[in-house]
Amino acid sequence: MAFEGGEDGFAVTGPLDQLLAWARKNSLWPMPLGLSCCAIEMMSTIGPRFDISRFGAEVARFSPRQSDVMIVAGTLTWKMASVARRIYDQMPNPKYVISMGVCASSGGLYRNYAVVPGVDRLIPVDVYTMGCPPRPDTLLNALLTLQKKIDKGNTHASGNPRPAVVGLGG
């Protein structure tokens, strides 16, 4: 991808998929699926102190049809699982998933029949995040990681993810 032009202005030229990736990664609208205490840290990330809008991801509305990245923040119970899956299915392609916190990533503290041992049982996860709950910095780091992945084109949405390891710590 290159910036071409002179005094009159410039044009961005390059392969279409690179241009699309560049556009997509800088306007990741999140679908906040706040399920428990991680959601508080997610709200703090959107607030002025950490200001997620610096990365073009401030449009956090509960509207799956207008969003690109689903942030699963909190403990996902089996009762909520079908809802989470339906919200994911309602999102338009290309769609990405950030699993925020240990509960969403692996079940965390909750090793029981009521809690899903990781959202990757239901939906493909692009970025996992540690912490209980993660600091806003960690969520921003996850967003930056996702931007890098979109740039390289190895997300689940682009059909070229890193090989997933299934069945760990379930």
Partner 1 sequence: MVLVKQRKLSLGERFYFKTVLVGLAYTIKNMFKKKVTRMYPEQKLDPKPSFHGVPVLVQDKDGNAKCVACGLCEFVCPPIAISITATETDRRIERTPKVFEIDMLRCIECGYCEEVCPEEAIVMSQEYELTGDSRADFRWGLDKLLVPESKLKPRLDYIRKMYHRFRADPKKEATAASVTTPTKTSIGVPGIKPHAALRRYGDNY
Residues near partner 1 (CB under 8 A): 48-51, 54, 102, 105-109, 111, 118, 120, 126-132, 134-138, 140-142, 144-145, 149, 154, 161-165, 168-169
The amino acid that residue 35 corresponds to is: L
User: How far apart are CB 52 and partner 1 at their closest, in Å?
Assistant: 9
Q: Which is nearer to partner 1, 5 or 51 (CB)?
A: 51
User: How far apart are CB 125 and partner 1 at their closest, in Å?
Assistant: 8
How far is the C-alpha of 77 from the C-alpha of 63, rounded, in Å?
A: 21
What is the token pair recorded at 69?
């990245």
CB 104 within 8 A of CB 118: yes
Give yes or no for a cis peptide into 133 (omega within 30° of 0): yes
* Cβ-based neighbours of 27, under 8 Å, separated by 6 or more: 56, 57, 68
Q: Which is nearer to partner 1, 9 or 167 (CB)?
A: 167
User: How far apart are CB 121 and partner 1 at their closest, in Å?
Assistant: 11
User: How far apart are CB 31 and partner 1 at their closest, in Å?
Assistant: 19
Q: Which is nearer to partner 1, 9 or 48 (CB)?
A: 48
What is the C-alpha end-to-end distance of the chain, expressed in Å? Answer: 42
Q: Which is nearer to partner 1, 54 or 65 (CB)?
A: 54
What is the token pair recorded at 25?
């990664």
